[in-house]
Copies of this chain bind each other. A is one copy, B any other.
């Protein structure tokens, strides 16, 4: 060990889903959208004024926050934009979770919540999902320093009805409740309408899934203007310029093309519902996912074995070693119909042979 290594933070790094370089791979492992972004997005990059690039971007990314606000019929001051939902969620943790009481989130959920809590020294307490992988509302009734959960939850895809979300938000006017709606556009009802009623609600969304822009890194928060103001102050205090001119311009164009967006999302929903039936026909159990992925298990074939078999066949899906309860499940992103047909052909041959 070198002398300076005693002063270094050492962590167990997150292992992201594999990004194979081979274009022939069918990639159903990172919940990317199978369709390209709206045509206007590429046009925005093509026509970006080079003189803009030499200048610092608008730290408020006001063009983009105004476009998002306009789309949802909200005020620009109710939107905070950042470098993907990881960035905006980390900023929300930092700003909103400053109580000495523990924050609450599900035990099986997005894997970065406990990482951010530890990074910012926020006490936390995980709440176990029920036997059907559902978030139990009553677990969130206890005293806490804040709450966060995804809706639909990941990696289960299970959606919590808005009335239950409202129950949690309304129980705790003294803390911020963050609803992480990364997958909400695939059929769930956003908690957006609750913002008029509850000023302790914060919603996170992303351009990475439903808007096919994972490569551009855009996420955003929706909340009341006071709360968004606090988050902006916090962000400005230590990193003023996060969103590039390119991301701002591209994001605005995506928002403008409502028709393209609706069409892509509907395609994915249609393929998902068809895929659920196909999985069940092959003897899989499958949660009623409302996201752009399915969460499946098979009584006879261990998930790890299926994962390896598919990988050899050039089809990448996601398998988690942790937590133990989901070790026998696969998370499979909804691709195009053709990609899913290739997947089912492969599975069919395997489970019937």
Contacts and interface: CB of A to CB of B under 8 A. Distances in A.
Interface of A: 2-17, 19, 27, 30, 32-37, 39, 41-42, 45-46, 48, 50-59, 83-84, 86-87, 90, 94-99, 112, 115-116, 119, 121, 145-146, 173-176, 199-200, 208, 212-217, 226-227, 230, 232-234, 236-247, 250
Given A56-B214, A212-B53, A7 B233 contact: no
A228 to B, nearest CB: 12
B4 A200 contact: yes
A330 to B, nearest CB: 19
- Copies of this chain, how many? 2
B54 A240 contact: no
Question: Which of A4, A48, A232 gathers the greatest number of chain B CB atoms within 10 Å?
Answer: A4
A87 B243 CA distance: 12
B199 A217 contact: no
Nearest to A1: B226
B4 A56 contact: no
A239 to B, nearest CB: 5
Contacts of A15: 236
Contacts of A247: 244, 246
A14 B45 contact: no
Contact of A230 (B8, B90, B116, B119): B8
A9 B53 contact: no
A173 B3 contact: yes
